[in-house]
Amino acid sequence: MAILPDNHLLAGMTVKFGQFVLQQVKGKTVISALPDRSNTKLSDKQPEVQVRFKIAVAYARAINEGSEKR
């Protein structure tokens, strides 16, 4: 992890590029490796919540695309 000097161009940004992420931590701009979550175990309820969220996103996209409902 590297702390970058103050830069008005990067202030307040969180950006992913390649295998790195640039983010704000405690008021400082930090660049670090992208976290690897491939071995993360889901709890019993997380898959159910993920499915519900996917349904909600699909509904929201349908509303945003249909100008009449929006």
Give residue-wise pLDDT tens across range 8-65. Answer: 666 677 888 889 888 888 878 888 898 888 899 999 999 999 999 999 999 999 988 8
Rounded Cα gap, residues 9 and 25, in angstroms? 16
- Residue closest to 1 by CA, chosen among 29, 37, 30: 30
For residue 37, the model assigns a pLDDT of 87
- Of 7 and 63, the structure prediction assigns the larger pLDDT to 63
For residue 2, the model assigns a pLDDT of 63
